[in-house]
Amino acid sequence: METDRNLYDTVDALMQEGKGILAADESDATAGKRLSIAGLLNTLENRRAFRELMLTAPALEDSISGVILFDSTIRDTTSMGLPFADLIAARGIIPGIKVDRGTVPVEKFQGETVTEGLDGLTARLKDYYDLGARFTKWRAAFTVVPKPSDEVILMNATMLARYAAMSQAAGLVPIVEPEVLYEGEHSLEEAQEVTEKVLAWTGDLLERYRVDLRGCILKTSMVLAGKSAEMSSPEDVADATMRTLHIAVPHSLGGVVFLSGGQEAKQATRNMQAIAKLGKEPWRISTSYSRALEEPMLKAWAGKEEHAEDAQNVLVHRARMNGLAQKGIYNESQDL
């Protein structure tokens, strides 16, 4: 079928060797937190300047295959009036869109959340396709301690599967993101246990809801000891992560991309390098980072026009380092 072929072509383009997906899909509120790094207020003009700075960076397309946008961004334009989705597509980068509407607490399950956004999704997907998007993303979130309940894992996995099926029906590649949160003091082993269960249940529900796995990408956390615990070595992260994927993730998925999830920029690059060197088969594996790409750029920019070029160079450099890591040829001595 033509729709299937289009989905596969989009997956192939997103999972190109040496390239990653830029997750620029922070909400307007979260964009405000990013802007504070540059010493800027959260205004429409500053959000536009931040996104324009990223998406006009020279040679970004050499290391970035796709960009995930937020609803307000895909409807916005550059300062010259060019829609951001058109700007991205003209550079050979595929525009994508975050379609969930965030997490809300689950009654009777203290501390656990479910992601909302299925209501009206079919119409929104058509709208996003018409605006230029060719892939989508939906995120669920799970803590390691306390462990997520079976009921809430099932609830979120079902939502992810239903979203993925709806996305494919609209001609859009779904990126399914069941994030296991980095925050906390948990051990590497505890993170692996939770990640394995979450991914296994997600994969099972995707198959039950007849999602075409070849036309679907999994966005997952690396298996890490908690951010407040002793940092895991890249080798331990790679070993635990790949063992988890081999146990829990269907081999027929179109690709697997890792989120940075609060890791420091170089930490995320080192961990990707270790995973690549360990061996990525049978999947195509890459990165889909947000903070690990954006924060170094924002610090270099500091909201000053005279720093804009340097800030863009920092962004492109980090994307290139991650691309080298994806191929297993990153050399930290050449990093900034």
Crossing angle between the packed helical segments 150-169 and 121-130, to the nearest 10 degrees:
50
Question: Residue 327 in contact with residue 18, Cβ under 8 Å?
Answer: yes
CB 291 within 8 A of CB 260: yes
C-alpha to C-alpha distance for 177 and 172, rounded to whole angstroms: 15
Residue 245 burial by Cβ neighbours in a 10 Å radius (0-12, 13-18, 19+): buried
* Element holding 141 (H helix, E strand): strand 135-142
Could you confirm whether 304 is annotated as catalytic?
no
| DSSP assignment string, 116-152 | ---TTHHHHHHHHHHTT--EEEEEEEE-SSSPPPHHH
DSSP lists the bridge partners of residue 180 as 142
Instruction: Tell me if residue 219 is catalytic.
Output: yes
* Peptide bond just before 250 cis, omega within 30 deg: no
Q: Which residues pair with 20 in a beta bridge?
A: 64
Task: Write the DSSP symbol of residue 200.
Answer: H
Question: Residues 19, 98, 219, 295: which is the catalytic one?
Answer: 219
* Separation CA 238–CA 244 (nearest Å): 10
Indicate the SS3 state at residue 336: coil
Pick the catalytic residue: 26, 52, 177, 190?
Answer: 177
Alpha helix (H) ranges present in 249-290? 265-278
The residues annotated with a catalytic role in the active site are 177, 219
